[in-house]
Amino acid sequence: MTAATAHIDHAALDRLFAPFDRTDAPGYAVGVAVRGQPAYRRGFGMASIELPVALSPSIRMRIGSTTKHFTALAMLLLEEAGALSLDDSPRAHLPELPSWADAMTLRQLLAHTSGMRDSLDILLHATGPGTALPADYQVRALARIDDVNFAPGSSWSYNNGGYVLAAEIISRVSGMSFPAFMRENIFLPIGMRDSLVRPLDTDLVPNSATLHVPRPDGGYDRGVFGAPIGGEGGIASTVDDMLLWLRHMDDPVIGSDQSWTALRTPLTSHGYGLGLFVDAHRGLERWHHAGAVMGGSAQMVKIPAAGLDIVILSNGRSSLEGYGLADSIIDLCIADLPPIPEGRTSPAATGIYHSRATGRVMRLANKDGAQMVAIGAITLPARTHADGLLSLPILPTDMTIALDAGGDVLTVSEFGKVDALVRLALPTDADARSIIGDYGNEAASLTASISIEAGAEAARLVLSSPMGATTYQLTPLADGLWEATGGTGLPLVITLEFGDGGFRLTTGRTTRLPFYRRMSV
């Protein structure tokens, strides 16, 4: 499309969010602007179910990983000042990092192509959310880990740990704390006076909505992440401030044209630049980044050709739901968009598949006749295209999935890589006694204990770090292949591949982290 015009239909937007306009649940604060002018600002649901305070566009909420392009801009500002180069190795500024960091660049940290282990992913799976940690724990943990997920620049994997290092580098190079640098160099110059870096959920911050984690019984727990967060997802803001930020993108006063071009230049096949996705929605270029936190989520979307800016912040709804709402707002506000291609109608395939090359496990499932794809703890609706390929339109990924005629092999293409996953024939008599024992990864300061408690039918895994532990139930998938499921407040799934005197642990963001059996004394 060569031209587009945005028009705000207030009634249609009200209807879209009407299901969340409740006095007994958290909800959404929503802002939509056209050519930089706010045209729709509303809150739906409660700021806290404990108090009679409704959500509004002026209440602070966490924006989660939407923080990342702010962090990338901060590093680009230091590059403009000659204080660093994005082509530097992280080790040039953090000399305590192991030798694996020599081959990486700061640009790769920001683009998720460094290949380093994700400290936050490992931490969550070992301790669970809500565990209080020292502010420098993740940096010290990364300084101990002695291997990587993949060679720098050879693939893409979303990595919060890279942004942990980015924030630490910004602080060391600038001589300011990361929160102070962001406040003085980005928030205040733009007029985002209600925005700040909030490391902890346990600190009391004025004018802030409570984070709500849904419980299976229908109630809520208070959302507390535990680990201090910064460059990877630590900003708290308001809908009004985020609309200011999106307007600023049209004619930036902070950051050079070269820096903003770098932020928006995709470095991967699915459109990720430096903390920003750039792709298309129904023929229109779209800049965006979502965020997820314990008990909340964020969506930030810009359609430059139509001058349409969208901000959706939540204190208790999932980021996956937010993707669909953001797309619906675009469709309601821009007329004459090309039709969404119709998918092929075919029976939903089912099965569990495993990659011998990467350790990845995926499930195909049928939900009320719809094709679903489960990756780790997340189950997503898939679109079946006319050529039979499956895609996951709700996620910002270029993943396609092809199922062979016999249903035995899945060919997954993503980020320029091709992976073959083979259907598993689930065992019925797997014996867990052969894997019972204690294991460890000394460099990562992790231990794993596998046992069968008296009277229990299934084996359990206790994965521990110096800061805590998480318990998982083990289920056999194939000979030497087990799945561990657990987590409190955050569903967690791990794949364990046994062999060579131990096992290799794989999650959505950690690939085959080795654990070795510990000999009893």
The pLDDT value given to residue 455: 73
Please report whether residue 144 resides in a domain. no
Strand, coil or helix: what is 247? helix
pLDDT for residue 131:
87
Asked whether residue 97 falls in the same domain as residue 213, the answer is yes
Give domain status of residue 493, yes or no: yes
Strand 460-465 with 468-478, pairing: antiparallel
| Residue 488: predicted pLDDT | 65
Instruction: Identify the CA nearest to 144 among candidates 117, 125, 169, 167.
Output: 117
- Reduced to 3 states (helix: H, G, I; strand: E, B; else coil), residue 504 is strand
| The domain boundary residue, chosen from 423, 446, 466 | 423
Shared-domain flag, residues 180 and 297: yes
Q: Are 181 and 80 found together in one domain?
A: yes
The answer to whether residue 137 sits within a structural domain is no
Point out the domain boundary residue: 400, 423, 446. Answer: 423
DSSP characters over 132-198? ---TTHHHHHHTT----SS-TTS-----HHHHHHHHHHHHHHHTS-HHHHHIIIIIHHHT-TT-EE-
Residue 394: what pLDDT? 79
> For position 339, what pLDDT does the model report?
84
Domain assignment of residue 474, yes or no = yes
211 and 265 housed in the same domain: yes
> Are residues 255 and 196 part of one domain?
yes
Pairing of strands 28-34, 37-44: antiparallel
Domain residues for 507? 432-517
382: CATH: 2.40.128.50
Q: Would you say residue 231 lies in a domain?
A: yes
Strands (E), 199-307: 212-214, 220-222, 235-237, 277-281, 284-293, 296-303
Domain count of the fold of the chain: 3
The answer on 300 and 363 residing in a single domain is no
Residue 134 lies in a domain: no
pLDDT at residue 216, rounded to an integer: 85
Residue 202 located in a structural domain? yes
Domain boundary among 396, 423, 450: 423
Residues of the chain with pLDDT under 70: 1-3, 343-344, 428, 487-489, 520-521
**Residue 332: is it exposed, middle or buried by C-beta count within 10 angstroms (0-12/13-18/19+)?**
middle
Q: Is there a single domain that holds both residue 454 and residue 417?
A: no
pTM to 2 decimal places? 0.95
DSSP string computed for 287-302: EEEEEEETTEEEEEEE
Percent of the chain with pLDDT over 70: 98
Gap between the Cα atoms of 263 and 279, Å rounded: 13
Q: Among 42, 43, 51, 45, which residue's Cα sits nearest to residue 21?
A: 45
Confidence at residue 344, expressed as pLDDT on a 0 to 100 scale: 67
pLDDT of residue 1: 44
Do residue 393 and residue 505 come from a single domain? Answer: no
Residue 64 shares a structural domain with residue 201 = yes
- Residue 67 DSSP one-character state: G
Residues 6+ apart with CB under 8 A from 496: 461, 474, 481, 482, 483, 484, 503, 504, 505, 506
pLDDT for residue 520: 63
Would you state the pLDDT for residue 489? 65
Distance CA 307, CA 272 (A): 21
User: Which residue type occupies 230?
Assistant: G
In terms of domains, do 65 and 95 share one? yes
DSSP 65: G
| Closest alpha carbon to 233 in 318, 166, 301 | 166
Examine the domain organization and report whether 376 and 492 are in the same domain.
no
- Domain with residue 215: its CATH number is 3.40.710.10
At 203 the three-state DSSP class reads: coil
Say how far apart CA 461 and CA 459 lie, in whole Å.
Answer: 7
Using CA atoms, how far apart are residues 265 and 455, in angstroms rounded to an integer?
Answer: 57
Asked whether residue 452 is assigned to any structural domain, the reply reads yes
Give me Rg for the CA atoms of the chain: 23
Distance CA 187, CA 182 (A): 6
Q: How many CA atoms lie within 13 A of 29 on its CB side?
A: 28
Let me know whether 328 and 378 are in one domain. Answer: no
- CA distance linking residue 453 with residue 451, whole number of Å: 6
